[in-house]
Amino acid sequence: MDNKEIMENRERIKNAKWRQRFHIEPPDGWLNDPNGLSFYKGEYHVYFQYSPIAADGHTPRGWGHYHGADLMHMAYDKAVMMPDIPEDSHGVYSGSAIENDGVLHIFYTGNVKMEGDYDYVTAGRGANVIHVTTADGSEVSEKQVLLRNSDYPDFCSCHVRDPKVWKEGEVWKMVLGARTLGNEGCVLVYESADLINWKYTGKVYKEGYGYMWECPDYFELDGKGFLSTCPQGLPHYETKWQNLNESGYFPADGRLEDSRLGEFAEWDMGFDFYAPQTFLDPQGRRILIGWLGMDNRVYGNATTELGWQHCLTIPREVTLGENGRLRQYPIAEFDALRKGERRHADGCTAKYALPLEICGEPTADFTITLDGKLELRFDKAKQLFTMEFSDEKYGCGRGTRNAVVANVRSIRLIADLSSIEVYLNGGETVMSTRFYPDGDCAELEIKGFEAQVWDF
């Protein structure tokens, strides 16, 4: 496509069916992980894994860029990096960004797939830690390779990726997700005094958590440490680990390299959530953005035929709950988007324009049904919250997801044009999915509580 055709295609996509109102989507093509989340020079920066034009995810991946002073009103800039050196020939993969002395430093994985008869686990693949800087978030400096496969510990397979960098006192720290030669997922920890020279300081893992850990992140909240990561290869159960790959966090107290990881908790119990990243904003909030998507092998997305695929979640503030578990809740800026409010009486059915938000405080069992095709229900006797599609097209192949919840005291459901995020009990349990309604309205039936419905 030439430039004019690209712009025309984007214009068409902007007005297409299922185009979201307040979720970050690619202007065209494919999106996966959020990358480089940061606040720099008065603006938020949200980069993302981006394959321009082609929506199937099979074309080269770089970093797209959104920016803005308000996380709910971000503007698309451009693809700021694409593969163009031998060390990132097959993808400018995921990574992070951090400010030092007025400059934004970006670290990402340069993916290389060699041609030949390889297993691509023990040989045939390169994964390089690459560094660039930017003075405006948009124009990046020359790419500098900091670590290559030969620099990683001997127990690593070729799969080492997704650098996340943060500062601890005077020291820079970095985590990388890895697969060992014994097919165990783990996180490698590094230290640096200058962001350029990195020294390996140890590995963190927990037995029984799959063969590969992607997209690690480490942060502290109220003095407690948490290691977030995405394990691949976990077994699947009816009420946990229901997706192809999982995403969650381990409490990790003390120095990360020496910590014994606590119990794994999933970030989101829905069909579509992976590869989240967090950052600290100027107000001191720990904000998480995830990919509101999943590897496509199990279910698809109806937007693909229209020229784009996937979006990011609403930015969520992460806080520490009383039980030591983390809560996620839409950032306060989201509330300012609300317009009118209506009462929806218990037992009623009514049609609403999308986007919509449902708020309520149930006291017992309840069901919420959208278009007669998606049911959300809470069964107190079974202590189960369930999301179930009864229509192949509406869910684009999605079926059922369950979460064990002792009691639902509050619910917030945010439906954009083609996604739903459910926050139970102030964000103690979250469940996200894509859905594909016929139009830009949804018929809503609620049984079991009186709800407040917001429009936008």
Q: Where along the sequence are the contacts to ligand FRU (CB under 6 A)?
A: 32-33, 49, 61, 93-94, 109, 161-162, 214-215, 274-275
Note whether 216 and 228 are within 8 A (CB): yes
Instruction: Report, in Å, the least distance between residue 245 CB and ligand FRU.
Output: 8
Cis before 330? omega within 30: no
E strand intervals along 356-399:
356-360, 366-370, 374-379, 384-389
Instruction: Report, in Å, the least distance between residue 247 CB and ligand FRU.
Output: 9
Residue among 144, 204, 210, 133 nearest 174 (CA): 204
The residue from 33, 88, 162, 371 that is catalytic is: 33
Residue among 311, 221, 288 nearest 430 (CA): 288
Residue among 254, 258, 141, 136 nearest 195 (CA): 141
The span from the CA of 29 to the CA of 59, in Å, is: 9
Nearer to ligand FRU, 161 or 316 (CB): 161
Note whether 187 and 205 are within 8 A (CB): yes
Nearer to ligand FRU, 248 or 355 (CB): 248
The span from the CA of 391 to the CA of 397, in Å, is: 8
DSSP classification of residue 373: T
The span from the CA of 218 to the CA of 156, in Å, is: 20
Residue 322, C-beta contacts closer than 8 angstroms, at least 6 positions apart: none
Nearer to ligand FRU, 177 or 251 (CB): 177
Establish whether 33 is a catalytic residue: yes
User: Burial code of 200-231, b = ≥16 C-beta within 10 A, e = fewer?
Assistant: bbebbbbeebbbbbbbbbbbbeeeebbbbbbb
Instruction: Report, in Å, the least distance between residue 109 CB and ligand FRU.
Output: 5
Nearer to ligand FRU, 61 or 327 (CB): 61
User: What is the DSSP track for 210-231?
Assistant: -SEEEEEEEEEETTEEEEEEEE
Nearer to ligand FRU, 93 or 250 (CB): 93
Nearer to ligand FRU, 158 or 451 (CB): 158
Instruction: Report, in Å, the least distance between residue 138 CB and ligand FRU.
Output: 21
Nearer to ligand FRU, 175 or 424 (CB): 175
DSSP helix/strand/coil, 407:
coil
For residues 106, 326, 289, 445, the Cα torsion angle rounded to the nearest 10 degrees is: 180
C-alpha 84: how far from its chain's center?
26
Instruction: Report, in Å, the least distance between residue 186 CB and ligand FRU.
Output: 14
Instruction: Report, in Å, the least distance between residue 450 CB and ligand FRU.
Output: 40
Instruction: Report, in Å, the least distance between residue 38 CB and ligand FRU.
Output: 18
Note whether 403 and 377 are within 8 A (CB): no
State the catalytic residues: 33
